[in-house]
A and B are shown apart, each in its own frame.
Chain A
Amino acid sequence: MLYKLFISLFIFITQSHILCAKAATLTKPQLIQQTLRHMVFVKGGSFIMGNGGNNYKHRVILDNFYINKYTTTYLEYDTYSKLTHKPLIQQMLLFMHWRHGGFPVGTSDWQQAKAYCRWLRQQTGLAFDLPTEAQWEYAARSRGKQVNYATNTGKLNIGVNYPNYSTHPQKVGLYPPNPLGLYDMSGNVNEWVNDWYDLNYYNHSQLLNPQGPTTGKEKVLRGDSYLESPQGSSVYMRFHDRPKAKRQFHGMPLINYAYGFRCVINQ
């Protein structure tokens, strides 16, 4: 018992130390201006979503929307945390160089991503949100083009248009964007989207602006992370996970920093 108390005390001390670690931030206007500057207009239209099998091919029609050309970074998220008086995200990683600045924020919980987009909505009055799964795929495929990867060529060329092997995320925007101007939609980090996950949803998806199932246990993630083989970065690949991550296993912390996100502005 004493031993456990000691451990808890120690963790508290070390965490307090980490809490004191400084993370660079922007001002609110800077964050909003930067965010709006990064938004890319995506003209709506019709496309065939999915590539067969469980990813049942089906037609989808989308309205116009804007999407951030980058996934949200630690710099942006730390600013938001500071402005909303929330604790810094991924504090355990603060001593890692890739926990700062222009690296993609690791939001192990879907709610952390959703809350950020909602906050932007409140601050700007614009319809900021997480992208729907359909919006994400439409944008990654540069308005529904038949490509496997959201790279500049539609193909993988590791180290040239796709991150080289790494044990942690890379800075956003290091490699060429897809033809629509969006970076890192294949590789780097998985991206949360708005939809609940349902394996068979594509079979009965709405035609117009599908929003995903009304309920579910897991949320959809798209794109791919540095943790998987590059082949998994297909724009058709669907991932899914619980919206709230498990924190511990046998009393030892579980840390997931491979899940990021980007926001859209709906019209």
Chain B
Amino acid sequence: MDQLLPTVIQQKLQQLNRTTGRQWAVNHYKDSKPGDKKYIVDVFGELIGSEHNQSWRFNLPYEVFLLESSASCDIINAANDPQIEPNKQYHFTNTDPVKKILIDIIFITNSQTFYALEHSDKQAIENAGMPLKQTISKLVNAINSKRNTRQQDIKSSKHQLQTLILPLINGPNSNSLTEIISFVGKKWLYLPNDDLPSSLHSYPLTRDIENRAKIMTHHKLDIEKLKHQLVKHETAFTWASNITQAHADELYQQHCDILNITNSHKKQIVNMSADARLMRYLFGTEISSNFYPHHRHVAFSIDAVAKFSLAQATLTSQVYLPSQQGWHVQLPTANRQRTIDLGYLRAGFEFNLSGFAGCSALANAKLHFSMGKTNKNAGKLFVKGINDIDKTISAQADAFAGIEMGCATCGNLAWDNPETREDDNKNFKEFANVGYQLAGDLGLGAQAGFYITFTNGKFRIRLNAGIVCGFGVNGVIDYTVDVHHLNEFVMFVYHKIKDYNFGYLGFIDKNAFNILSDILTFYAFFNVQLDQLAHTGIEQAITWYNGLKQNWHSPQLRQQYLEQLIQHLRSNAHKLKFTPPEVKGRLLYLLTEKASSTIEQSQRQIILKILDYLQSIKDYDQVLKYMSIDGHRTDQQHAEDRLQHFLADWSKNKFIVKLPNKALINTAVKRHT
């Protein structure tokens, strides 16, 4: 049992042995009350006392009261042992020099170092952490307050918190948030700097490997070995009894990931970056007295979009709103007489820092998205969250959402692409990224909540967050279709046109659709891939089609264009799969133009290939309606006559008899897969 005794008690017992001339054994000891630093030690054995300079009072069984701090003790004969004078009090005076008592061990996550603390050290560290603690407490109090000045209080405490936190993320002191795990009492502490007294006894885990001391073995942190390594042979220090193996076991159990990083050389699964440390702080370790990241997960919503382990502290965690399964979006048209089925959409976000805090409030929370408007933040997405149910989380969410540098998130927009499904499960594919802010209102079409434009060389999507992210979420998100998403974007638009039975789409600006048609026409002519079209490529596609329109009156140039088209589509007919009727109409118009007789047969073959990709009778009708060079509506009968006239073996039924009236909704294009 002796090994369980605090060092200070052991030393005092040794002194007792020396004084009495006997070996005393410890039966058990217990901490009387936390903090009073008074220990009761039951001993057994025979006392033959000589009194020297000590005074004793014995009772039986012998109970020894040892005061940790005074280095003296009283021994009481509690049972009236007849061999000992009843109730005689002996006072034991320690003749050894007063030793400094180490009352706690802390672990600094960034430096992976243990430190031994005296009472004054611990007090100093807690004092250093007070500004952060007080500021966040002030903010939480302001948010929970019902005072008239609530808004003003929140604003001022947010500003105060921001002043403290921002330097920890950016600037010369950006790595200076010190994250501390304590053995005793409060488990997590944070200091807004990395200044620890140099006089502290320290023991880095890296040295443990060099020393082969193995303070951690067999999934256990050996407290005695650690203590030994911290003070080695220094006799001026003694350990308080409260730092026990039980504390070490608990600490190891909760933080084994953190403790094992260096020791085992295993893959680092705990993020120790400044941002991750800050995130753990933001999550509320300063508010809650105990924080067990190894077991604690934060579920963002009931159907558990993403569970997030704070121990792993994946700073940019992918979160889906409203869920991984997406949201079936049905939009009313501008005149609200019909509904456009956008299928399943899903918004993916990469939250960080306070964005994460906002996200953690998602369950039953009201989230508000907005695009940054300042010089620094234009085009970035910001999220604010207020949760009426969980005040603790909501306080943090609201608190940090307003911090400029901390709450920007990035994200993407994905749709359930039936083309890429391998089974009945949804298969979400990204087709746009958050970014770029459109100035001003977008006019009537945008009121529907989902609107595509073409501005400054790219397709943009403005989205009412509520229609994709679900109820309780509001605000506006601006997405940009980057070049690498163009292929997916084309498939998305085509499927929506098809699902709407090739009718007018209210959610895409007319010019944007014209540009898309120009791009797809260009795509049909040349050996280019959509995702390889840089900005200049899109512009090139537009100016190229301008050229075609202006040169079409020239028989020779017309011949050249047609040869190019025939040559390319002969072996790339799959490119026609996702072309809307407006583009098929254009191509049919071009291909039904008389040119040299040498290519006439080839023209017919390509026309048949185009007709092969029709999905419904309505699709066919629409193709005829747009059978013109610039996509203008034309007379359907006239267009059909033109087609019939050009095709030698014309039979309308031959082409459309097998077509359904309506294309299948939310399914892959079945024909020509």
Set of chain A residues within 8 Å of B553, measured between Cβ atoms: 95
Contact with A along B537-553 (1 / 0, CB 8 A): 00110111011101101
Nearest B residue (CB) for A54: B378
Task: Kindly state the interface size class of chain A when it binds its partner.
Answer: 35 or more
Q: How far is the CB of B656 from chain A (nearest CB, A)?
A: 29
Q: Which of A231, A238, A252, A253 contacts B564 (CB 8 A)?
A: A252
Tell me the bound Cα distance from A155 to B440 in angstroms. 8
Given A226-B511, A252-B544, A252-B548, CB of A158 within 8 Å of CB of B378: no
B210 within 8 A of A: no
User: What are 28 A-B interface contacts by the 8 Å CB criterion?
Assistant: A6-B556, A10-B556, A52-B372, A52-B373, A52-B375, A52-B377, A53-B379, A156-B440, A165-B511, A224-B455, A228-B454, A229-B511, A231-B442, A231-B455, A234-B439, A241-B539, A246-B540, A249-B540, A249-B544, A252-B548, A252-B557, A253-B550, A253-B551, A254-B543, A254-B544, A254-B547, A255-B550, A256-B546
B441 within 8 A of A: yes
Inter-chain contact B547/A53, CB cutoff 8 Å:
no
B341 within 8 A of A: no
Set of chain B residues within 8 Å of A241, measured between Cβ atoms: 539
Within 8 A of A (CB), among B436-486: 437-443, 453-457, 460
Nearest B residue (CB) for A162: B443
Set of chain A residues within 8 Å of B556, measured between Cβ atoms: 6-7, 10-11
Inter-chain contact A231/B375, CB cutoff 8 Å:
no
Tell me the bound Cα distance from A226 to B455 in angstroms. 11
Given A51-B439, A252-B561, CB of A232 within 8 Å of CB of B550: no
Q: Which of B437, B443, B564 contacts A158 (CB 8 A)?
A: B443
A239 within 8 A of B: yes
B515 within 8 A of A: yes
Q: How far is the CB of A163 from chain B (nearest CB, A)?
A: 10
Nearest B residue (CB) for A242: B536
A56 within 8 A of B: yes
Set of chain A residues within 8 Å of B15, measured between Cβ atoms: none
B510 within 8 A of A: yes
Set of chain B residues within 8 Å of A148, measured between Cβ atoms: 439-440
Within 8 A of A (CB), among B510-525: 510-512, 514-515
Q: How far is the CB of B375 from chain A (nearest CB, A)?
A: 5
Inter-chain contact A228/B456, CB cutoff 8 Å:
yes
Nearest B residue (CB) for A15: B554
Tell me the bound Cα distance from A34 to B454 in angstroms. 36
Set of chain B residues within 8 Å of A250, measured between Cβ atoms: 526, 564
Q: How far is the CB of A88 from chain B (nearest CB, A)?
A: 14
A23 within 8 A of B: no
Tell me the bound Cα distance from A148 to B455 in angstroms. 14
Inter-chain contact A227/B439, CB cutoff 8 Å:
no
Most central of B437, B454, B547 by chain A CB within 10 Å:
B547
B222 within 8 A of A: no
Given A227-B511, A231-B438, A237-B456, CB of A156 within 8 Å of CB of B550: no
Tell me the bound Cα distance from A108 to B418 in angstroms. 42
Tell me the bound Cα distance from A228 to B458 in angstroms. 9
Inter-chain contact A227/B456, CB cutoff 8 Å:
no
Inter-chain contact B543/A256, CB cutoff 8 Å:
yes
Q: How far is the CB of A67 from chain B (nearest CB, A)?
A: 22
Tell me the bound Cα distance from A257 to B547 in angstroms. 10
Nearest B residue (CB) for A248: B547
Q: Which of B456, B457, B460, B557 contacts A11 (CB 8 A)?
A: B557
Set of chain B residues within 8 Å of A56, measured between Cβ atoms: 375
Q: How far is the CB of B504 from chain A (nearest CB, A)?
A: 13
Set of chain A residues within 8 Å of B540, measured between Cβ atoms: 246, 249, 254
Tell me the bound Cα distance from A71 to B544 in angstroms. 24
Contact with A along B555-592 (1 / 0, CB 8 A): 01100110010000000000000000000000000000
A59 within 8 A of B: no
A1 within 8 A of B: no
Q: How far is the CB of A249 from chain B (nearest CB, A)?
A: 5
Tell me the bound Cα distance from A52 to B437 in angstroms. 10
Tell me the bound Cα distance from A231 to B630 in angstroms. 22
Given A148-B440, A250-B564, A252-B560, CB of A229 within 8 Å of CB of B554: no
Within 8 A of A (CB), among B481-536: 509-512, 514-515, 526
Q: How far is the CB of A46 from chain B (nearest CB, A)?
A: 18
Tell me the bound Cα distance from A250 to B443 in angstroms. 39
Tell me the bound Cα distance from A149 to B442 in angstroms. 12
B337 within 8 A of A: no
Q: How far is the CB of A204 from chain B (nearest CB, A)?
A: 13
A29 within 8 A of B: no
Within 8 A of B (CB), among A1-21: 6-7, 10-11, 14
Tell me the bound Cα distance from A92 to B553 in angstroms. 11
Most central of A56, A96, A255 by chain B CB within 10 Å:
A255
Tell me the bound Cα distance from A255 to B511 in angstroms. 18
Nearest A residue (CB) for B438: A231
Tell me the bound Cα distance from A54 to B540 in angstroms. 25
B374 within 8 A of A: yes
Tell me the bound Cα distance from A245 to B540 in angstroms. 10
Within 8 A of A (CB), among B322-373: 372-373
Set of chain A residues within 8 Å of B441, measured between Cβ atoms: 155-156
Q: How far is the CB of B593 from chain A (nearest CB, A)?
A: 16
Which 5 A/B pairs are nearest by Cβ-Cβ distance? Answer: A53-B378, A232-B455, A148-B440, A229-B453, A234-B439
Q: How far is the CB of A108 from chain B (nearest CB, A)?
A: 8
Most central of B374, B438, B440 by chain A CB within 10 Å:
B440
Nearest B residue (CB) for A14: B554
Set of chain A residues within 8 Å of B439, measured between Cβ atoms: 51, 148, 231, 234, 236-237
Within 8 A of A (CB), among B601-649: 630-632
Set of chain B residues within 8 Å of A230, measured between Cβ atoms: 443, 453, 509, 511
Within 8 A of B (CB), among A157-190: 158, 165, 167
Q: How far is the CB of A128 from chain B (nearest CB, A)?
A: 29
Q: How far is the CB of A37 from chain B (nearest CB, A)?
A: 33
Q: How far is the CB of A263 from chain B (nearest CB, A)?
A: 25
Inter-chain contact B546/A255, CB cutoff 8 Å:
yes
Set of chain B residues within 8 Å of A249, measured between Cβ atoms: 540, 544
Nearest B residue (CB) for A245: B543
Tell me the bound Cα distance from A246 to B375 in angstroms. 34
A93 within 8 A of B: yes
Tell me the bound Cα distance from A232 to B438 in angstroms. 8
Tell me the bound Cα distance from A167 to B521 in angstroms. 15
Set of chain A residues within 8 Å of B630, measured between Cβ atoms: 167
Tell me the bound Cα distance from A251 to B455 in angstroms. 28
Set of chain B residues within 8 Å of A246, measured between Cβ atoms: 540, 543
